[in-house]
Each structure stands twice: as C-alpha cells, then as structure tokens.
Amino acid sequence: MADNLLEVKNLKKYFNTPRGPLHAVDDITFTIERGHTLGVVGESGCGKSTLGRTIIGLLESTQGEIRFEGLDITHPDMKRKKELCKEMQMVFQDPFSSLNPRRCVAELIAEPLKIFKVYKFAKERDERVFELMDVVGLDRRFATSYPHELDGGRRQRIGIARALAMDPKFIVCDEPVSALDVSIQAQVLNLLQDLQDERGLTYIIITHDLSVVRHISDEIMVMYLGCMVEKCDAKELFVHTLHPYTKGLLSAIPIPTVKEKKPPVLLEGELTSPINPKPVCRFANRCKYCTEQCLQSAPALEEVLPGHFVACHHVREINGL
Amino acid sequence: MSKQTKAPRKKEKKASQFSEVMGRLRRNKLAMVSLAVIILIILAAIFANYVAPYDYAKQDMHNRFLYPSLQHLCGTDNFGRDIFSRIIYGARYSLVVSVIAVAIAVVGGAILGATSGYFGGLYDTIVQRIIDILMAIPSFLLAVVISASLGTGIMSSALAIAVGMMSVFERIMRSSVLQIRDQEFIEAAKVTGASTARIIFHEIIPNALSPIIVNATLCISSAIIAISGLSFIGLGIPAPTPEWGTLLSAGRDYIRDFWPMVTFPGVAIVITIIAFNLLGDGLRDAMDPRLKQ
C-alpha cells in the first residue's frame, strides 16, 4: 500500500448565501502520497483555493473527511489545530498582502518559532532565522528590511521561509507564483522543487496556470465548479487529455512558436451558477458533446485508463476508447 | 548594517518605524515647536516645587490683587496667592487627569473596537448599539452626570471624561480592524498557529494604531478643556487645588475688575491645547506620509 500522507474523502464545503448554498467544493476525493505533489488547476471561482483552505483548516468543511497521516483532522479541537500547524503549512498567493507590513523580515520568519516557543534564547532563534533565510535564498542583509522594500520574489521567499520554520511535512501552495513576474516564477518554482527533494515535502499546488503544474506536479487534478472533472498523472494529462473541459484548458496555453498552429478548442458560454446547482453535468452548457444524458444526471468519476479518472458521460466516445 | 546594502534605494533604511516617523516629524517645524512646548509644560508640572516661585496655597492678605510684576509674574489673586505658581501646579492636575482620561479611553476603546471588529456578529451589534447610545449623549453632559454621581476627585473626573471619549476610539479602531481583518497576513498568522489574542494584539492592533495615536494627542486637548469645564462648574477637582478650570472659575467673580485672574489660566489652557493639536496634526502627517503629498 502506498504511503498516503493526506487522504480527502467526499469533501464538501458549502457557503451559505442569501440565494442558497454555494457549492464551492463538492464531493472531492483524493489522496496524496508522501513526497509527491498534487497540482490543482481550474479557472477562477472553481473552488480550488477553498479546497486548499479547507484542508489546511482555515475553513470548516461542510461534510466529508480529511485524514493526515491516517488520523482524522476534519474537525480538530484547538490544541490539535495548533499541533497541526507544525505539520501543515501554507504559502499564500499574494506576497504583498500576506506579510504584516509592520514587521521586518527576521521578525516575520521568527513568528512561528515564537508562537511555539521553540527556542529559549533569542540568539538561537536568530540563528535559525538566518539558516532559514539561507535555505530559501534570501540574503542575510535583508533581515532588518521591511516587506515593502523588497520585490515580489523576495517576499514570496519570506513566505516560504515562514512556512518552513517548523519543518512541516505538507505545504499547500495557493497560487504561489501567480503574482510574480515570469522570470521570478521559475526561481520560486525551482526553490519549491529543491526543498521538496531535500526535505521530502508533500505539496498541493493550487494554480490556474497549467504550465506551472506541468513543471512541478506528479499528479494533476482539474476542477470545474467545485467538482473534480479529471485526475491523472501529470505527464498523462498532457498526452491523453480526455475531458472536454481539460482540452479547452490545455489549448489555452500559449505555444511559443510561430510555425506550429493548432486549432484552439474554444469554450463558449458562461459558468453555471455554483449556488444550489442541479444534479447534472455542470459543464454541460459549455460542452459541444452535450446530450440529453448530460442534462439529466451528473457523471461519476470513473477510471477510464489506469490511474486516469474522468467525470464525463461520453468520455469514451469522444476520445475513441 | 544599512550601509552595506548594495541595492540602490531612494532613502536610507531606518532602524525602525518609530525612528522613521520621528524623522518625518522633525521636518515639521510647527509640530517640533509644539513638542518643545509640551515637554516644557510637562517638565514644569513635574518639577513644580522647584520652578514655582511661591507656594501655591500660601495666602498673603496684604498683597491681594497685585498686577503682574517681576515679583509676581502673573500677579496675585483674591487671597494674595501667586497666580503663576498656581498655574504651574495646576498643570500637574490638568495634565494628569487628561492623560489618565485619554489612556482609559484609548485602552477601553481599542480593546472594544478591535474585538467587535474582529469577531463581528451579535457581539459587534451589541457593542455598536451601546456606543451609539453613548454617542447620542453630548459628551460633556455625560461627563457631568458621571462625575456628579461618582463625586469629585482626579480618578472620577478622568473616568467621567474617558467614557464620553471612548466611543470615538472604539469607532476608529473598529473601522481599521475591519479593513485589516480580511487581509491575507491575518490568515497567514492563523496558519502559523497564532492564537486569537495574539492575532488581535500582535497583528491587527499595531497596524491600526497610527490613527489612534493621532487622535489621542488631539483628544488630550479636549480632555483638558473638559476637565477645566468640570472644575469650572465645581464638579471636577475641588476648589483649593489649583486646577486650571478651578482657577478660571475662581477668577470669574473678578472678571471685570481684575483681569489677570482669568486671563493667565486661560492663556495656559489655550497654549497647551494648541500645542497638543499641532503635535497631533504633525503626527498624522508623519505617520501617513500619503496625506501630505
């Protein structure tokens, strides 16, 4: 049996709105092996950030189960929650607002160490802070700088250093590079990857940028309106794209060449409302393969190819399997 | 350490935010003069027994109603007491009471505002409605009622003034907290394992503090007026104590015949208030450089 660090079973997170429950995350099940990376992709508003926040415990799940190292952490009490903070950490999307503007870099990185009172003496703690700055590639001369004096990449490095301070096993990266310049994106992604190799970290990388997940993930999960529509090996997804939504998503990646031209798969129509959705295929109104069946029942996730799960009624016909 | 930085920066990096604010404040001449005046008044109040030329309570019936001279800088009052000495001793009471009042108002208002902004919900609603009620009553009237029921004295006057002032600080704090609460670094703190108290006191309040500090400086002057007003109508600090309002009130009877008794305490109040107001304005500009440019 594989060594699963995180298991998520039928996780649901609904928000109560005046017009009814908003299904942000609807019935999602997956596992992540220790040391692996799961990429979660989908367009804005598909619930991928909510998924990350629910797993990390910032949001309370509506239903379902989250297991971390085999233990149920769906509804932890205060003490357990604090303990979990040592094991699970998060890297935030916006390095401009995720750092307290009144703290200097060293204080920001030392914060988790102070909360858990790891070191008795300030000197030891400073030592550790410098060590962490080295690990994430932040020059020590920035220790007394304030976040607003640094660029986005360096700020994100502070965020990563903070996340690493307690030596967690698992990190949720919520759009870790989407606020950064392309050149810095690569640096930060490489840093995340190096850290994974060194420390055996497990990641969930949440992003809307497919080239990012392709670069870093072992497995990719595609979300659409709170549901998982496709999940498989990262390489497999780009070779055998099965779900019509994923096809549209993939063809939106710009190809850096002028010679090769592929007819783009364009998606039409708007997202259906995530508030109280009908039990049908949520992608139906934008799908060119849509039939009666799609408008009557929601497709279940099935293993179409080994290790390749797709939720679509017509996946076999579309792809000629 | 800052000199080793190679990257070109517009300005030299300062050691802390405090020194940065002080640096900007230093360029504001009016604020610096006010600060000097305030420090002078505070020093005079602390070392009153060395600064004041006479005992504030010593009566000299032969020298009543003396006009200002070199012996008596501000003249003498109806009991022959030196007005200048009385004003200097009075600074003690006026400043102490107003500082205590503002301190109570700031601490109470900040805690109430921060918690009600952070938690929201029913607690927020209840606190806000209570503050609404407090705000509906004119603050001086409120102070009169409270000090009438608590009796005279330093603490009760301070408390009476603080209650009326607290609502302002509560509202300021709450609105800043509402802005800060939803920023990502609060979530980041939660993920780090910070307790709610730590989030409120370490993450939120330091970021919401600058408008509070500015307002506190401005409020000290209104507290001075309020305590003078209370003493003037006999509810603040009782008569023999040379509080500024008490001095004014004592001079009221002689306002037509002997001007120094009301004028000099009044001038003392005005100078102190203007100094605090200008310092407050300067602080606001220094803490939020965007306002000035």
- Residue B66 covered by a domain: no
Answer whether B179 touches A (CB < 8 Å): no
Complex prediction ipTM: 0.81
Homologous superfamily of the A4-319 domain (CATH): P-loop containing nucleotide triphosphate hydrolases (3.40.50.300)
Question: For residues B44 and B95, is the Cβ–Cβ distance under 8 A?
Answer: no
Q: Out of B189, B193, B206, whose CB is closest to A116?
A: B193
Contacts of A53 in chain B (CB under 8 A): 187
Q: A197-248, pLDDT tens digit by residue?
A: 999 999 999 998 888 888 889 999 999 988 999 999 988 888 888 898 988 8
Cross-chain residue pair B192–A112, CB shorter than 8 Å: yes
Contacts of B1 in chain A (CB under 8 A): 141, 144
CATH number, position B166: 1.10.3720.10
In terms of pLDDT, which residue wins out, B234 or A255? Answer: B234
Answer whether A141 touches B (CB < 8 Å): yes
Cross-chain residue pair B193–A58, CB shorter than 8 Å: no
Cross-chain residue pair A97–B184, CB shorter than 8 Å: yes
pTM of the model: 0.77
Question: For residues A202 and A32, is the Cβ–Cβ distance under 8 A?
Answer: yes
Contacts of A97 in chain B (CB under 8 A): 183-185
Answer whether B10 touches A (CB < 8 Å): no
Min Cα separation A21/chain B (Å):
20
**Number of domain units in chain B:** 1
Cross-chain residue pair B193–A89, CB shorter than 8 Å: no
Reduced 3-state DSSP string for chain B: CHHHCCCCCCCCCCCCHHHHHHHHHHCCHHHHHHHHHHHHHHHHHHCHHHHCCCCCCCCCHHHCCCCCCCCCCCCECCCCCEHHHHHHHHHHHHHHHHHHHHHHHHHHHHHHHHHHHHHCHHHHHHHHHHHHHHHHCCHHHHHHHHHHHHCCCHHHHHHHHHHHHHHHHHHHHHHHHHHHHCCHHHHHHHHHCCCHHHHHHHHHHHHHHHHHHHHHHHHHHHHHHHHHHHHHCCCCCCCCCCCHHHHHHHHHHHCCCCCHHHHHHHHHHHHHHHHHHHHHHHHHHHHCHHHHC
Min Cα separation B192/chain A (Å):
6
Cross-chain residue pair A159–B188, CB shorter than 8 Å: yes
Q: Out of B5, B189, B206, whose CB is closest to A141?
A: B5
Nearest CA in chain A to B18: A102
pLDDT bracket for residue B10 (50, 70, 90):
very low
pLDDT bracket for residue B290 (50, 70, 90):
low
Cross-chain residue pair B191–A58, CB shorter than 8 Å: yes
- Residue B259 covered by a domain: yes
Domain boundaries defined on chain A: 4-319
Give which of A115, A139, A158, A171 to mutate to test B binding, by max B Cβ within 10 Å.
Answer: A115
Q: B58-102, pLDDT tens digit by residue?
A: 888 888 888 888 888 888 888 888 899 999 999 988 888 999 999
pLDDT beyond 60 at A274: yes
Cross-chain residue pair B206–A93, CB shorter than 8 Å: no
Cross-chain residue pair B185–A111, CB shorter than 8 Å: no
- Residue B11 covered by a domain: no
Contacts of B10 in chain A (CB under 8 A): none
- Residue B12 covered by a domain: no
- Residue B53 covered by a domain: no
Q: State the residue range of the domain holding B255.
A: 36-47+71-292
- Residue B221 covered by a domain: yes
- Residue B31 covered by a domain: no
Cross-chain residue pair A93–B183, CB shorter than 8 Å: no
Q: A148-186, pLDDT tens digit by residue?
A: 888 888 999 999 999 999 889 999 999 888 888 888 888
